[in-house]
Amino acid sequence: MTILARDRHIVIVGLGVTGLSCARYLHERGMSFSVMDTRYDPPGLDELNQLAPGIEVITGKLDRNRLGEASEVWLSPGVPLAHPDIAAVKDQVIVRGDVDVFSQEAKAPIIAISGSNGKSTVTSMVGEMAKACGVHVAIGGNLGTPVLDLLAPEVELYVVELSSFQLETTEKLGAKAATVLNLSQDHMDRYPDMMAYHLAKMRVFFGCRHMVLNKQDTLAQPPMMEGAEVTWFSLTPPEPKQFGVISSGDRHFLARGSEVLLDADDLKVKGRHNWSNALAALALAQAAGLSLPICLETLKEFTGLEHRCEWVGKYNGIEFINDSKATNVGATIAALEGLGPVISGQLVLICGGQGKGQDFDALFKCVERHVGAAVVLGQDRQLLRDGLAARMPVHEVNTLEEAVAAAAAISQEGDLVLLSPACASLDMFRNYMERGEEFKRWVKAL
The catalytic residue positions are 119, 142, 187
CA gap 350, 407 in Å, rounded? 8
The CA–CA distances, whole Å, from 82 to 89, 116, 168 equal 11, 21, 11
CA gap 342, 402 in Å, rounded? 27
CA gap 64, 46 in Å, rounded? 25
Beta bridge partners of 262: 254
Please tell me whether residue 92 adopts helix, strand or coil conformation: coil
Type and span of the H or E element at 373: strand 373-376
Residue 27 CB-half CA count within 13 A: 20
Beta bridge partners of 213: 180, 232
The CA–CA distances, whole Å, from 17 to 78, 88, 111, 118, 381 equal 11, 25, 22, 22, 31
CA gap 149, 138 in Å, rounded? 10
Q: Please give the single-letter amino acid code of residue 357.
A: G
CA gap 306, 437 in Å, rounded? 9
Beta bridge partners of 62: none
Other Cβ atoms less than 10 A from the Cβ of 106: the count is 21
CA gap 426, 354 in Å, rounded? 7
